[in-house]
């Protein structure tokens, strides 16, 4: 009994010691020192006409620059009308900048700085929008391509993504040019015409810059935003994307003899072989990790979270599996921590009573930084084992972007202004979708993704959805952000 008592006492002592270590580490927890933003001198607000800016966004929505799945359905005249309208609507901006058109309809504007030794900044916003889902038109409070101004907002497809950025960027440039601002650093605007369909325009612009030897101080595009009810802190936070996931779609094909469905083969044919393969691939998920931008976001925000969040992040050596499990409870949280796998399309027989001669599945991957398309292919092949299926990419994969700095001068400027705009903490994060900026990684070391607009976790769902709209507060907030960013970085 004495021995049992001693063992029990030792266990209690170890538990108390462990608890003490956890509590002390929590109370003294500080994440790795980030950049000091307090020394950044931000340009003041500029005079703007918010009512006129709202009317301009409204007008831009009426140009139906829709990127369809089949490019033959695109109405290119709508892009040309938008271009002419931009020139008429922003005369001071067009007088200050030179304009080039690449890849047919992508716009490149250059506002030459007085000091050519300074690396330029590149600001991006695309012209095209996604279609309105057929059959949902009547679900909109206001017609999706009329740009109605009502209820303190501008309504319509593209009001946020991404004509909202395009118009507020031009409003900022117009305001600065009208007030006589002359940049020291060159400012380049890139407006891709087909971001929603692959981004060939932005790719052509990037190749143009590389051919000219342009090395930018930083690139800023859409991607993240100000979230008013961030789950980690419960309050507002400005999230800046410092990387974005890669994109790849794997085609998995099972071949078979085919024939009449009344006499199926013993092995059940290609459809069941394919189903088994897809199931094995989807069940072999990539491991989740906290060492990427998603984990960096958690670490940055943890000190402002609850005691339990601080305790978990301060003691990752003990709680990392629990942190990952909690993050993975939501699809959005899981996507921040690993490469995702999503079977999206299937093709089999053209008729219900015919066995297919081949059956194909398309599996979409969003590849996390640190992973690669080659590793994805290897994992898929290993998962299916000896099942008789063939693999091919539907098109060349886009690899994940490099991870941009959170200590550079470029980061300090963008983050300081984002924080001042949001009146909230700033944290790096990972963009799980794709943006035109992925093509600019050879143009600048630091590529950031941020829209200066406030959304809740609920309202952000309207992007690409029904009733997309930009509040007038967000409109004014974005105009000021872009104007001040140009004046701060190039003034």
Q: Which residues are catalytic, by number?
A: 128, 195
Nearest to 205 by CA among 197, 194, 376, 457: 194
Distance from C-alpha of 279 to C-alpha of 115, rounded to nearest angstrom: 58
The CATH 3.30.70.360 domain(s) of the chain lie at 245-393
Query: What pLDDT, on a 0 to 100 scale, did the predictor assign at position 278?
Result: 98
Distance from C-alpha of 368 to C-alpha of 335, rounded to nearest angstrom: 8
Query: What pLDDT, on a 0 to 100 scale, did the predictor assign at position 1?
Result: 54
Nearest to 166 by CA among 36, 304, 61, 242: 61
Phi, psi values for residue 471, rounded to 5°? -65, 155
Strands (E), 309-389: 340-347, 354-355, 358-367
pLDDT tens-digit map of 86-118: 999 999 999 999 999 999 999 999 999 999 999
Query: What pLDDT, on a 0 to 100 scale, did the predictor assign at position 29?
Result: 84
Query: What pLDDT, on a 0 to 100 scale, did the predictor assign at position 267?
Result: 66
What's the 3-state SS for 13-29?
A: HHHHHHHHHHHHHHHCC
**Average pLDDT value over all residues in the chain:** 95
Mean pLDDT across 343-356: 93
Rg (CA), the chain: 26
Task: Give the Cβ contact number of residue 269 at 10 Å.
Answer: 23
Query: What pLDDT, on a 0 to 100 scale, did the predictor assign at position 21?
Result: 84
Task: Give the Cβ contact number of residue 357 at 10 Å.
Answer: 14
Mean pLDDT across 319-347: 95
Q: 50-242+402-490 belongs to which CATH class?
A: alpha beta
Query: What pLDDT, on a 0 to 100 scale, did the predictor assign at position 207?
Result: 99
pLDDT tens-digit map of 431-479: 999 999 999 999 999 999 999 999 999 999 999 999 999 999 999 999 9
Mean pLDDT across 154-167: 99
- Copy the structure tokens of residue 478: 């974005």
pLDDT tens-digit map of 372-413: 999 999 999 999 999 999 999 999 999 999 999 999 999 999
- DSSP H or E run through 469: strand 469-471
- Copy the structure tokens of residue 370: 């640190």
Query: What pLDDT, on a 0 to 100 scale, did the predictor assign at position 89?
Result: 99
pLDDT tens-digit map of 6-21: 677 778 778 887 778 8
Query: What pLDDT, on a 0 to 100 scale, did the predictor assign at position 450?
Result: 99
Query: What pLDDT, on a 0 to 100 scale, did the predictor assign at position 12?
Result: 76
Mean pLDDT across 167-171: 99
Mean pLDDT across 414-426: 98
Mean pLDDT across 143-161: 99
Per CATH, domain 245-393 is 3.30.70.360:
yes
- Copy the structure tokens of residue 313: 């992040």
Distance from C-alpha of 412 to C-alpha of 447, rounded to nearest angstrom: 13
Query: What pLDDT, on a 0 to 100 scale, did the predictor assign at position 467?
Result: 98
pLDDT tens-digit map of 208-230: 999 999 999 999 999 999 999 99
Q: Which residues fall within 8 angstroms of residue 66, CB to CB, at 6 or more apart? A: 74, 75, 78, 128, 129, 130, 131, 157
**Percent of the chain residues past pLDDT 70, beyond the cut:** 98
- Copy the structure tokens of residue 252: 């998995």
The CATH 3.40.630.10 domain(s) of the chain lie at 50-242+402-490
């Amino acid at each position: 009994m004495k021995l049992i008592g001693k063992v029990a006492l030792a266990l209690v002592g170890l538990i108390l010691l462990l608890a003490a270590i956890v509590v002390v580490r929590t109370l003294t927890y500080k994440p790795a020192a980030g950049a000091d933003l307090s020394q950044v001198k931000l340009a003041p607000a500029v005079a703007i006409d918010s009512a006129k800016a709202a009317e301009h966004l409204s007008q831009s929505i009426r140009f139906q620059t829709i990127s369809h799945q089949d490019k033959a359905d695109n109405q290119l005249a709508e892009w040309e009308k938008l271009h002419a309208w931009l020139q008429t609507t922003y005369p001071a901006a067009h007088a200050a900048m030179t304009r080039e058109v690449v890849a047919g309809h992508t716009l490149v504007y250059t506002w030459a700085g007085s000091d050519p030794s300074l690396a330029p900044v590149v600001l991006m916003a695309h012209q095209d929008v996604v279609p309105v889902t057929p059959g949902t038109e009547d679900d909109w409070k206001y017609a999706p391509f009329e740009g109605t101004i009502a209820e303190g907002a501008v309504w319509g497809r593209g009001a946020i993504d991404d004509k909202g950025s395009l118009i507020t960027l031009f409003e900022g440039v117009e305001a600065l040019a009208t007030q006589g601002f002359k940049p020291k650093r060159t400012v380049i605007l890139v407006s891709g015409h087909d971001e929603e369909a692959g981004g060939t325009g932005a790719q052509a612009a990037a190749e143009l810059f590389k051919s000219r030897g342009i090395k930018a101080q930083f690139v800023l595009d859409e991607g993240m935003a100000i979230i008013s009810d961030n789950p980690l802190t419960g309050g507002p936070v400005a999230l800046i994307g410092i990387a974005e996931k890669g994109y790849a779609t794997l085609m998995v094909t099972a071949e078979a003899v085919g024939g009449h469905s009344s006499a199926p083969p013993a092995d059940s044919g290609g459809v069941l072989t394919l189903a088994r393969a897809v199931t094995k691939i989807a069940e072999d998920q990539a491991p989740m990790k906290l060492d990427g931008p998603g984990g960096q976001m958690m670490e940055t925000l943890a000190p402002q979270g609850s005691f339990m969040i601080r305790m978990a992040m301060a003691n990752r050596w003990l709680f990392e599996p629990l942190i990952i499990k909690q993050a993975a409870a939501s699809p959005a949280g899981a996507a921040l921590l690993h490469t995702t796998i999503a079977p999206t399309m299937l093709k089999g027989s053209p008729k219900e009573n015919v066995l297919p001669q081949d059956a194909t599945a398309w599996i979409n991957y969003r590849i996390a930084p640190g992973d690669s398309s080659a590793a994805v292919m290897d994992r898929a092949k290993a998962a299916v084992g000896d099942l008789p299926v063939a693999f091919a990419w539907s098109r060349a994969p886009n690899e994940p972007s490099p991870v941009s700095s959170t200590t550079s001068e470029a980061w300090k400027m963008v983050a300081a202004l984002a924080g001042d705009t949001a009146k909230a903490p700033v944290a790096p994060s990972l963009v799980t979708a794709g943006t035109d900026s992925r093509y600019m990684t050879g143009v600048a070391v630091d590529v950031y993704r941020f829209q200066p607009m406030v959304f809740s976790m609920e309202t952000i769902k309207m992007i690409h959805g029904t009733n997309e709209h930009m509040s007038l507060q967000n409109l004014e907030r974005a105009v000021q952000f872009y104007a001040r960013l140009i004046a701060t970085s190039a003034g």
